[in-house]
Structure 1
């Protein structure tokens, strides 16, 4: 499977999940980040939706309009966690089939980046159903909802 991202690179996407028969999946450009704190923990977004069990995602999400993946990572980190980050090195480009919490079938595709923590700005946080959680990366690999996110954290740990 081949794809391109906002920065016009063309690479083989690592594909995670499988489409369920009979469903039409929304193709969504998305980008996510791995940020480490001074204690060696990484930032996750704990998402709590009404009537659903909480789950963990890497902070990030849809790339809006003409924004770059790196810009999307920075914006989404702020909206979900209140952290100010700068996206740096690309870990890899991935795609993930999944059903959103409202049941909508989606295939996210795009980069997962190593990002640097610049600070905090609580005024940026607008997603009330997201909470910042810091976890040991090994625990995060197990806790993350998406296989693509777990794989990216494992790749980040292995590559240094």
Structure 2
């Protein structure tokens, strides 16, 4: 598995199972703009696998919470880890899969993460704007397979 991010040896990183998705529509991919006090950033929709959830279940839940989109996961195209600090300062190592998915319904009222906004970006723009190197790498994997 590929590992991204710089690991500070003085920190104790909590491993967190995750799932993120690449959803394409009209040549653009779904991303979320996350607003934080320190500034905004872009991520692929997705996040932590909770409890006994599978990656697929987590991806479906996270897409609704962050974007209001209902999705059907299709293929697990990549797996990677990402060292980073949460906005709270907690050191994490996200480890999990990146999936392709299709939109099956849109329900903006179902979105419950107020600091997340759905944005559709050109994949080549997303490569340079996504916060995590693992997300940009997954988009590059998707682009290479889609062509």
| 2:35 is equivalent to residue 48 of structure 1 | yes
- Output the CA distance in 2 between the equivalents of 1:124 and 1:77: 10
Aligned to 2:69: 83
Q: Report the CA distance between 1:91 and its aligned residue.
A: 1.0
- Output the CA distance in 2 between the equivalents of 1:67 and 1:103: 25
Of 94, 99, 110, the match for 1:108: 94
- Gapped runs of 5+ residues in structure 1? 1-12
**SS state of the match for residue 75, structure 1?**
helix
- Gapped runs of 5+ residues in structure 2? none
The structure whose RCO (Cα within 8 Å, separation 6+) is larger is 2
- Output the CA distance in 1 between the equivalents of 2:50 and 2:74: 19
- Output the CA distance in 2 between the equivalents of 1:157 and 1:65: 32
Aligned to 1:120: 106
Which consecutive aligned stretches of 4+ in structure 1 deviate over 2 angstroms post-superposition? Answer: none
- Output the CA distance in 2 between the equivalents of 1:123 and 1:14: 36
Q: Report the CA distance between 1:123 and its aligned residue.
A: 2.7
Q: Report the CA distance between 1:102 and its aligned residue.
A: 1.4
TM-score relative to the length of structure 2:
0.97
- Output the CA distance in 2 between the equivalents of 1:45 and 1:61: 12
- Output the CA distance in 2 between the equivalents of 1:104 and 1:45: 21
| 2:70 is equivalent to residue 73 of structure 1 | no
| 2:43 is equivalent to residue 57 of structure 1 | yes
Aligned to 1:148: 134
CA deviation vs aligned residue, 1:86-134 (integer Å, no higher than 9, x gap): 1110111110000111111000000000011112112321100000000
Of 122, 126, 134, the match for 1:136: 122
CA deviation vs aligned residue, 1:15-73 (integer Å, no higher than 9, x gap): 11121121000110000000011x210000100012x1100000000001111101111
Aligned to 2:6: 18
TM-score relative to the length of structure 1:
0.89
- Output the CA distance in 2 between the equivalents of 1:141 and 1:71: 26
